[in-house]
Structure 1
Amino acid sequence: MTDPDCDAATWVKASRVGPLATHIDAFAARLGGEGYTSTTVRDKCELVAKLSAWLYRRNLSRDALDEGHLNQFHADRRRQGHVRRGEVATGQQLLRYLRDLGCVRSLPPGPDPTPLDNLTRDFGRHLSSERGLSPATLGNYLPVVRRFLTERFDGKPMQFDELRPIDIQRFVVRHAQTGSRRSAQLMITALRSFLRFLRQRGAISMDLAGAVSGIADWRLSHLPKSIPPEQVERMLVSCDRSVPVGERDYAILLLLARLGLRAGEVVALTLDDLDWERGEILVRGKGQRLVRLPLPTDVGAALVDYLRHARPRGSIRRVFIRMRAPLRGLAGPSAIDCVVCRALKRAGLNPSFKGAHLLRHSLATDLLRRGASLTEIGQLLRHSQPTTTQIYAKVDIAALRTLGLAWPGAAS
């Protein structure tokens, strides 16, 4: 009986004609290094061979390959009824690979940056270099600034001396009504920071930052959202550790539940941050602060099991990576939130808040009820201000009852 895999491989070898033929082996090696299975690599290389033959029949060189010719190639295949899922993505992968090698022309430069582009770029550099803010924070601030300037000047030259407090107040009122209180607060913080930046550059003379009204948000006005320890354990047990993704998610949940790490801190962990000799973990926290925390035994064991048996092999230094090709680090904090949401669903839990911070709050609440001080909790959670930890005092109801006054007229 003929082996279909051998037939396909033989066809690819025999059909290597055209300007891309010499790149197929190296492209296959790149795909293998990114974690694609041998079957997927074979399918992708078969498509590249067909693209190479298509270019050859049209007397097109390798240098001529671009998005336009790729679209024509895919259109021809669709007309012939040969199109398969993922072919467009494979073509884009190949084009990026050839451009990385310098074999194919790079994309033509985009239009020259506008004054708005230059200003937001300068503001982003200011936030990064002078204030030490993270790329995630820049990703929150810069869209707010662009939206404000676009709406205020409406494509006209930006005359900052025309800005008045009423312009800022109208923008805040208009957009604060369409989002959450948290997003409104972020918008105000971004505008204040930008207006201080303009004044520092001499673009405005008035202190317009002081004209940005705040959003009412009384400190300690709510209870931290948490779940009891037994429900945390149900989440951990729900992970199917017989499969690689279960091993990975179990290790992630333990880091959240035992050390109270933030989602972004878990994403940022690298293999170099794990100090096995000292039993410590280096955490890259808010404000680019680096903190060493002791590695609990169960967390260390889960990490070892994941790294030895479940984590795909590759050159990526991130601890937690995708389990399917292309192999790379998790996209961001939202990926950790998804891990928590899936665990809650498996465990049959439905709290009002389902993000990664749920386990951070749950850890602090449990420690307080077991007798830990607010100072100790603040140190574990790496709060920069003691006042941040004060919210957890509200969950110790037994202690708060001793401070409450008797209701007037009640029996003593």
Structure 2
Amino acid sequence: MKPTSFHEAKARSFTPLPVHIADELSRYDAYLHDVRGLAAGTRRNQIRVVGLFLRQNFERRAIDLRKLRPDNIRRFLASQLGAGGSSSYACQLASTLRSYLRYRTTCGDQVCKLSAVILNPVHWKLASLPRALKPEEVGRLLDAVAGVRRWPKRSYAIVRLALDMGLRSAEIAQLRISDVDWREGTVTLKGTKTLRQDVLPLPAETGQALADYLQHERPVSSHPAIFIRQVTGRDQPIAPRAIQRVIKRACCRIGLPHYSAHALRHTLACRLVENGSSLKEVADLLRHRSLNTTLIYAKLDTPMLAAVALPWPGSQS
């Protein structure tokens, strides 16, 4: 079978799915939600990958994993990574396929031979540095987003929530007016990625940006969401992807096209570490499930690293 090119795969992703594949993805999505407890964004990414996999192997026939061979798995991975995919994307593909095969075992399929050929690429833990904005870039970003023609106050409030509080796009989209305690200066996050309720301090500048948007730019609506949009005449919460687009466009506007919404979360963490906050404090603010997730920021603690660095051979020390 000839490997599918990137452009062919992209074109096929916009064509309607066969009914039998759509039904299978619906059942798998229910499993991810009900059994694994995964958030909507995570499920959406996994469904996309599994949809490509099923389409490549079962587009014109019933889904029967007994008819698959290890080479089918290898060909799918090769077709997705043939254009030079990153190691992180390769890890995502491997993890998603293993998750789907685990689901199929609950359906009674024997998939050990298929799972055995899914190997993670070499990906050294903590090998890369998180991409964060420099202080002068942060200033330019805030100036740029405050000067947009459409919804400037909304865009400014969104950027401040991500930059000052490290909120994820989905968390910003899900914020309700009742989640903000203006008297106590706190924000309550519900249904977050960690599946718990968190109460975070609301910085003064962030609160001012939110209040400015609510008082002067938010459409008059009884909807409880802070950031809303109109769809067929009805008010709905803004989608996480819209939050991402606001931040992405602002970064592009100041010449940082490769920065995303998550970079603002990294920027907050880096600023905290450089100002002397402990990794535990950073982990609590970012709501990491494990402290291991926060260890990447230890490499950005320049003063501490300098204090323990060994002298260069031949230098005076």
Q: 2:3 is matched with which residue?
A: none
Deviation at residue 258 of structure 1 after TM alignment:
1.1
CA contact (8 A) 1:244 1:306 kept: no
CA contact (8 A) 2:157 2:213 kept: yes
Q: 1:249 is matched with which residue?
A: 155
Q: Structure 1 unaligned runs (5+)?
A: 1-112
Deviation at residue 245 of structure 1 after TM alignment:
1.4
Confirm whether residue 118 of structure 1 aligns to residue 23 of structure 2. Answer: yes
Bigger mean CA deviation after superposition, 399-408 or 126-135: 399-408
Name which of 227, 251, 266 aligns with 1:320.
227
Structure 1 Cα separation of the partners of residues 51 and 232 of structure 2: 35
Deviation at residue 369 of structure 1 after TM alignment:
1.1
- Match of 1:282, SS state, is strand
Q: 1:401 is matched with which residue?
A: 306
Deviation at residue 253 of structure 1 after TM alignment:
1.5
- Match of 1:293, SS state, is strand
Structure 2 CA distance for partners of 1:328 and 1:366, relative to 1, 3 Å: same
Q: 1:292 is matched with which residue?
A: 199
Structure 2 Cα separation of the partners of residues 294 and 207 of structure 1: 50
Instruction: For residues 145-192 of structure 1, give each alpha carbon's deviation from its aligned partner in whole angstroms, at most 9, with x where no partner exists.
Output: 232223224523333223333321221122122344433322222111
Q: 1:329 is matched with which residue?
A: 237
Q: 1:219 is matched with which residue?
A: 125
Give, as a single letter, the amino acid of the residue that structure 2 aligns with 1:299: T
Q: 1:139 is matched with which residue?
A: 44
User: Aligned ranges for residues 79-94 of structure 1 at < 5 Å?
Assistant: none
Name which of 34, 54, 57 aligns with 1:149.
54
Structure 1 Cα separation of the partners of residues 265 and 51 of structure 2: 34
Give, as a single letter, the amino acid of the residue that structure 1 aligns with 2:201: P
Deviation at residue 332 of structure 1 after TM alignment:
2.4
Deviation at residue 367 of structure 1 after TM alignment:
1.1
Deviation at residue 197 of structure 1 after TM alignment:
0.8
Q: 1:263 is matched with which residue?
A: 169
Structure 1 Cα separation of the partners of residues 180 and 110 of structure 2: 48
Structure 2 Cα separation of the partners of residues 182 and 206 of structure 1: 24
Give, as a single letter, the amino acid of the residue that structure 2 aligns with 1:302: A
Structure 2 Cα separation of the partners of residues 344 and 202 of structure 1: 48
CA contact (8 A) 2:194 2:287 kept: no
Give, as a single letter, the amino acid of the residue that structure 2 aligns with 1:373: S
- Match of 2:188, SS state, is strand
- Match of 1:292, SS state, is strand
Q: 1:34 is matched with which residue?
A: none
Query: What TM-score does the superposition give when structure 1 sets the normalisation length?
Result: 0.65
CA contact (8 A) 2:188 2:197 kept: yes
Matched-pair identity in %: 36
Structure 2 CA distance for partners of 1:170 and 1:300, relative to 1, 3 Å: same
Structure 2 CA distance for partners of 1:407 and 1:153, relative to 1, 3 Å: same
Structure 2 Cα separation of the partners of residues 200 and 337 of structure 1: 35
Structure 2 Cα separation of the partners of residues 363 and 205 of structure 1: 43
Deviation at residue 205 of structure 1 after TM alignment:
5.3
Structure 2 Cα separation of the partners of residues 240 and 225 of structure 1: 23
What is the number of equivalent residue pairs in this alignment?
298
Structure 2 Cα separation of the partners of residues 122 and 142 of structure 1: 10
Give, as a single letter, the amino acid of the residue that structure 2 aligns with 1:261: L
CA contact (8 A) 1:272 1:317 kept: yes
Give the number of the structure with larger relative contact order, counting CA–CA contacts within 8 Å between residues 6 or more apart: 2
Query: What TM-score does the superposition give when structure 2 sets the normalisation length?
Result: 0.83
User: Aligned ranges for residues 2-401 of structure 1 at < 5 Å?
Assistant: 114-178=19-83, 179-204=85-110, 206=112, 208-240=114-146, 245-283=151-189, 284-322=191-229, 327-333=235-241, 335-344=242-251, 349-351=254-256, 353-401=258-306
Structure 1 Cα separation of the partners of residues 177 and 226 of structure 2: 5
- Higher radius of gyration, 1 or 2: 1
Give, as a single letter, the amino acid of the residue that structure 1 aligns with 2:239: A
Aligned-pair Cα RMSD in Å: 2.8
Structure 2 CA distance for partners of 1:197 and 1:350, relative to 1, 3 Å: same
